[in-house]
Amino acid sequence: MKDIVVDNKIMGYIAIFEKIAHTELKECLENEDMIVFIVGEKKMAELFKRNPSFVSELKQKTNKHILVAEASHDLINFVRNIFFRLGVKEIQVNWKEGTTDVLVSVDPMEIGKAIGKEGRNIKLFRDTVQRFFNIRNLAIKQ
């Protein structure tokens, strides 16, 4: 398990999110292009009901792509939530010899977005899932 580092930049993103969305966060991770915000289970509908444009506001304030997903106690549901906007087709989970690997199939038109420039997005999604579940790898099926 990796050490979790929350620097001033992440703290700033958390503060912006909580101010705009009026909801507590479970997790916040970022890369050069995107910020992933994880909210509690069954919180998404409430968020959009309260402020339908909060994602646009976050994007404007951070100048990054924004992904907001719901936490889940179930690995498959959590991965589905992370990849929801990329058109999840199938999620395969392989458990063997104490390790877990996840293979996600998304809409063919969205594979580039799922992987990201130089693999940045898939690495960010893998890191996000690893914060909640003990997985060895997360990959996109091509």
Domains and CATH numbers, the chain: 8-70 (3.30.300.20), 85-140 (3.30.300.20)
Tell me the pLDDT of the chain averaged across its residues.
93
Alpha-carbon distance 121 to 114, whole Å? Answer: 6
What is the rounded CA–CA span in Å between residue 78 and residue 128? Answer: 10
pLDDT > 80? residue 1: no
- Of 3-7, 15-19, 102-106, 127-131, the range with the lowest mean pLDDT is 3-7
pLDDT (tens digit per residue) in 9-67? 999 999 999 999 988 899 999 999 999 999 999 999 888 888 889 999 999 999 999 99
Q: Which pair of structure tokens corresponds to residue 121? A: 């997005």
**Mean pLDDT value across residues 65-92:** 96
Task: Name residue, tokens 């993103």.
Answer: 13
